[in-house]
Structure 1
Amino acid sequence: MHITNKTNNSQKNRLIIVSNRLPIVLSKDNKGRWQAEQGSGGLITALAPVLKNRGGLWIGWPGTSRAHDKKALESVFTRAAGDFGYTFEPVFLPESLVNAYYFGFSNQVLWPLFHDLQTRCDFSPDYWNAYQKVNEIFARTIAQNIKSQDDHIWVHDYHLMGVGQALRKLHATAKIGYFLHIPFPPLDIFLKLPWRFQILESLLCYDMIGFQTQRDRRNFVQCVHAMLNHIRIKGRGQVLSTQVNGRMVRVGNFPISIDYNEFAKKAGTRAVEKRVDEIRAVFPSDHLILGVDRLDYSKGIPERLLAFRNALQRYPELEKKISMVQIVVPSRQRIPEYENLKHEIEQLISEINGTFTRPGWVPIHYLYQGVDRTELTALYRAADIALVTPLKDGMNLVAKEYCASNIHLDGVLILSEFAGASSQLYKHALLVNPHDIEGIADAINQACHMGLDERKKRMRALRKIVKKTDIYWWVDTFLKAVFSHDLDTLGPLEDYIPSQEISNRKNSEAP
């Protein structure tokens, strides 16, 4: 099935985005008719505005595997193309492969391993076999939709590491970029993957391999040098290169971002202003703390709750002065570990509220649900402190969304040093080790007592960084690195804030 759009169809240098899921969520109304709405998640948040502006094609699994749904969905994708400004190509996967590929290899092997949580891995050979087959199915769909060698093919994330190699086997000659949205692990952890050589060789079939930070890029380069010692990746600056089978392969780091202007403008709308007033009326506390996370063990939610409890225990003057809103967006509900994590979070919140609640004051307000853009932006505006403390994260766009929405410059960002965003925002956020319960509690207390002048100085600098390196900068920088004929012509990317070794940095160094 190929759903076309006249405007986009004639465009030269089409941008073809390939991801595990299409950026729309399909559902049926009360009459059983299919309908589509834009999905959520970091990749969609980042790329949807780019494709909307320039047009293009998005290839991905629509969320259903039933063959008889294909015809019924054609009109849905056609309508969605008109609404969203770009076209869709669904990849229908056999139901027999979905579980082993997605819930298996992607989320019980790659996800925990790449987040340094190897004890959570299940290295089933069946998972690997399904992963390879699905990547081949994606490659065939891409090959069928390449209209010109000038098409820009951009494959995304850990679900599709093998697509480049499968495309080469189909004799595709178009340039193919790949971007990994999650961290790339260090050598000692990557070595635990039984299929480590196959993964590295698959990645080296792309023309450009992009990572979030210098740390991720360095980990990848070290793995290649240690395991494929006939390949040497060399260079200086943001983009390195090597020769693989007569092809130049480039390796770079490109911190993903958000549509800054969209969030900033939304934050100033009348609807958001009204909702901010309503939220603040509900919370009489002096300081509102916000946590927004997808349900996942990499997000450090239990550790964050323990830190909040520690702050109430060690700083009793904060009683009735702070309230926390913790939003947990449901995710991967078919994986038992995620259901167990949900119970752990809810039990902790119940215990904390049971211990510290006083008449007229409940310390933690918990929402297990997604929230729409207006509500989320209002919460960003209303929150005096954002608590973004993943154990490890590729980037974490919540941190950037909070800064962009903070139009009054009075918020404080508490940020994990193991979030990719810390490579850009470390100077002006309060950096914490997410495993350090007392350290996070101290940062909460510091944020509560921070003067307005310092808060404004920090937030102004944070917003400047997010604005200069927004989502459009990210796309342009990546595509420039893929398609430039000469690395020397790339020049310095002056707006880029390079990744730093930050584990020994202290918050007192921030201006």
Structure 2
Amino acid sequence: MTTSNNDGLPDDTEDDYTLSLGENQTLIIVSNRQPYSHQYETGDEGNKKITVDRPAGGLTAGLDPVMQRVSGTWIAWGDGEADRDVTDKDGTVQMPPEENAYTLRRIWLSEDEVEGYYYGYSNRVLWPLCHGGIWKTEFAERYWQRYRQVNETFAKVIDEQTTPTSLVWFQDYHFALAPRLVQESAPESTFLLHFWHIVWPGWDTFRACPQAKTLLDGLLGNDLLGFHIDRYCENFLDCVDKELEDAFVDYDDNRVRYDGHTTRVESFPMGIDAATIERTADSVSPSFWSEFAREHGFDRETQVAIGVDRLDYTKGIVERLDALERLWEMNPEWQGELTYIQKADKSRSRIPEYQNLQQNVETAVERINDRFGTDDWQPVVYIDDWLTDEELRGLYRYGDAMLVSAVRDGMNLVAKEYVAAQVDCDDRDQNPNLGEDCSEQSGNDMESAICGVLVLSDQTGAHEALGEHALTANPYDTEAFAETIEQAVTMDDAERRERMTALREHVASNDIYAWMDDIFEATQ
């Protein structure tokens, strides 16, 4: 069996980071996505072998090294084609492969369950509902029944793992019903914690859901319910106040008393693994930008704006392309002088809304390139190939501006990743731990990089903290958005450095480890 690379905690965190669990407390993480999956791979001689894939980023990658330190159990859907072959009769396997530090308990779902629970209710009802897209929801009864069924399945497995000293941490919108089910059967001293990683909508939106009361009842089985920002907490409390007649909502202390149980509702703005991203960006090859430009067919000497997104209708990619098209139209001097690179990852392609979006994005790219492109320059470089961590963070580092134009986003961690990768904005004399690659970028074979500019939609949770030093964009105001992009790529170096330095200080101080500390301290 082979394994992918596992860096663990960042170097400057590895020796001193300790999760703030209570005495004798054991951690159970519950997520839809598993931290490792097992796949079949055909060897050189045609024989099949089993390999281990680990998510390159995101929450699972951030929590994995923490679980390695505290042991415990991780419960998730086993979606890898070879997952069953490496688990015992109880569906468990020790992870990571090279250390066996904690237990991964896999849950097996049928194709019908996946279609109804994941592609159906989770992503055709809850996802659009929470992001304000009521017209995109599909309230099919079969989706709801599968969602209930899968939540019940997870709850039963959680019950098997739970002890009086367990802390059960539910992740995201896939498990709105499970907390109540577990709360009814678990020992009273078991602590139930839930983090809702997406937006929680206002009452006028949420009230459209036929299952609104049951969803709220399920989430109020938690002892602590976390959201990214205060506004989502307020929205949730309003929904409870309006929907559940028997609930007492304490807006001053952010608590709900319901069915004999008290739930605290608090905000915990999620961070990223800033140290690791910074370290990777700082170590990219001196010739990276030239090689990347040659491979993807653009002139590295032009100004370069970038976007990095899942192909999701909440990310505002079409709106961003409209603004860029308007900029090239109204200001022809930028034709041949500004290149836009869109890194896009296909997502949930089995859902028609996502298929339509993918087609709309590709159509917009073709239209813009046909309209403005020349033999020597194309305005939009579209990349849907997989990029390594080094390539992605190198793209972040050398992009003159990052355009984040989500029309609704719970947080948006890509904006923070871009900031963390802006290592050329640091004073090298004051930061001896950073590499020396950029200290003499004016000569030899070194690439040239300056401080980037973050253009950030005011519809993201990240705007609450980063908006002061980013340039703010309304993705629906095409004319103003185009002007903001031009402001970003014409900003002088002093202002760039001042803005990005402030952003980097915030992102580094409020990273994923600070986020986890805040959450677990709140459970004590």
**TM-score tier after normalising by the smaller chain length:** 0.7 to 0.9
Q: Secondary structure at the match of 1:96?
A: helix
1:402-421 CA deviation, whole Å, 9 max, x = no partner? 00010112010001111111
- Find the residue that maps to 1:36 and give its secondary structure: strand
1:355 to 1:76, Cα distance in 2 relative to 1, 3 A: farther
Does residue 13 of structure 1 match 2:25? yes
Cα distance between partner residues in 2 of 1:412 and 1:374: 20
2:183 pairs, out of 168, 179, 197, with: 168
Structure 2 equivalent of residue 388 of structure 1: 404
Give me the whole-angstrom Cα distance separating, in 2, the residues matched to 1:182 and 1:274: 38
* Superimposed CA distance per residue, residues 302-337 of structure 1 (whole angstroms, 9 cap, x where no aligned partner): 111111111111122211111111011121121122
Equivalent residue, structure 1, for 2:151: 135
Query: In structure 2, do the counterparts of structure 1 residues 176 and 340 end up closer, same or farther at CA, with 3 Å as the change threshold?
Result: same
| Partner SS, residue 243 of structure 1 | strand
Work out whether residues 38 and 83 of structure 2, in 8 Å CA contact, stay in contact via their aligned partners in 1: no
Conserved 8 A contact 2:369-2:380: yes
1:117 aligned residue: 133
Structure 1 distance, partners of 2:29, 2:403, is 32
Query: Any idea what the Cα deviations from partners look like across 1:389-441, whole Å, max 9, x if unmatched?
Result: 11111111100000001011201000111111111101001111111111211
Letter of the 2:263 counterpart: V
Amino acid at match of 2:280: K
C-alpha displacement of 1:53: 4.7
Q: Structure 1 residue 81: deviation in Å?
A: 4.1
CA contact under 8 A between 1:46 and 1:257: conserved in structure 2? no
1:243 partner letter: R
Tell me the equivalent position of 1:486: none
Match of 1:479 in 2: 520
After TM superposition, the score normalised by the length of structure 2 is: 0.85
- The code of the aligned residue for 1:275 comes to F
CA root-mean-square deviation: 2.2
The residue aligned with 2:172 is 157
Q: Secondary structure at the match of 1:82?
A: coil
Residues 132 and 378 (structure 1), Cα distance of their counterparts in 2 relative to 1, 3 Å cut? same
Which residue in 1 is equivalent to 2:78? 62
CA–CA separation in structure 1 for the residues paired with 2:251 and 2:169: 23
For residue 482 of structure 2, what is the aligned residue in structure 1?
441
**Counterpart of 1:455?**
496
Residue by residue over 1:132-190, the C-alpha shift from the partner in whole angstroms, topping out at 9 and shown as x without a partner, is 110011111112122x4222211010011111011123334310100100000110010
1:279 paired with 2:320, answer: no
Query: For each residue in 1:12-64, what CA deviation from the matched residue of structure 2 results, as whole angstroms up to 9, or x when unmatched?
Result: 42322111121224321013443221125632244334334544432100115
| SS class of match (1:292) | strand
SS in 1 for 2:199: coil
Q: Which residue of 88, 103, 106 maps to 1:90?
A: 106
Measure the CA separation in 2 of the matches of 1:190 and 1:329.
29
Contact kept? 1:267, 1:381, Cα under 8 Å: yes
Residue number in structure 1 paired with 2:435? none
Change (3 A) 1:82 1:265: same
Alignment of 1:73-472 (within 5 A): 73-74=87-88, 77-78=93-94, 80-82=96-98, 86-146=102-162, 148-173=163-188, 174-234=190-250, 236=252, 240-269=254-283, 271-279=284-292, 282-409=298-425, 410-472=451-513
Match of 1:465, SS state, is helix
Q: In the alignment, residue 178 of structure 1 is paired with which amino acid?
A: H
Secondary structure of the structure 1 residue equivalent to 2:75: strand
CA distance in 2, matches of 1:285, 1:203: 52
Q: Which runs of 5+ in 2 are unaligned?
A: 1-18, 426-450
Q: CA deviation at 1:130?
A: 0.8
Secondary structure at the counterpart of residue 522 of structure 2: helix
Residue type matched to 1:169 in 2? Answer: E
Q: Check 1:198–1:107 CA distance in 2 against 1; reply closer, same or farther (3 A cut).
A: same
User: Does the residue aligned with 2:53 lie in a helix, a strand or coil?
Assistant: strand
SS at match of 1:27: strand
Structure 2 vs 1, CA of residues 230 and 245 (structure 1 numbering), >3 Å: closer, same or farther?
A: closer
SS in structure 1 at match of 2:383: strand
Instruction: Classify the secondary structure of the residue corresponding to 2:376.
Output: coil
Q: TM-score, normalised by structure 1?
A: 0.87
| Residue identity opposite 1:411 in structure 2 | G
From 23, 47, 71, the counterpart of 2:35: 23
Partner of 2:444: none
CA distance 1:286–1:373, change in 2 (3 Å): same
- The residue type equivalent to 1:431 in the other structure is T
For residues 48 and 487 of structure 2, the distance between their equivalents in structure 1, rounded to whole angstroms, comes to 53
Structure 1 CA distance for aligned equivalents of residues 72 and 505 of structure 2: 30
Percent of residue pairs identical: 35
Q: Secondary structure at the match of 1:134?
A: helix
Confirm or deny: 8 A CA contact 2:247 2:256 kept in the other structure.
Answer: yes
Provide the secondary structure at the position in 2 that maps to 1:233: strand
Whole-Å separation in 1 of the counterparts to 2:66 and 2:288: 28
- Aligned residues of 2:290 and 2:300 also touching (Cα < 8 A): no
> Structure 1: which 5+ runs fail to align?
1-7, 484-511
C-alpha distance in 1, partners of 2:491/2:59?
Answer: 34
Q: Contact 2:92 / 2:104 at 8 angstroms: preserved in 1?
A: no
Question: Displacement, 1:95?
Answer: 2.9
Matched residue count? 468
SS of the residue aligned with 1:29? strand
Which one-letter code corresponds to 1:254 in the other structure? F
Q: Which is worse superposed, 246-255 or 408-417?
A: 246-255
What amino acid sits opposite 1:480 in the alignment?
E
Measure the CA separation in 2 of the matches of 1:345 and 1:83.
43
Q: Write the distance in 1 (CA, Å) between the matches of 2:334 and 2:67.
A: 46
Per-residue CA deviations over 1:452-501 (Å, capped at 9, x if unaligned) read 00000000000111111110111111111122xxxxxxxxxxxxxxxxxx
What is the CA distance between 1:78 and its match in structure 2? 3.6
The DSSP-based 3-state class of the residue aligned with 2:148 is helix
Structure 1 range deviating more: 209-218 or 48-57: 48-57
Compare 174-183 and 312-321 and name the one that shifted more: 312-321
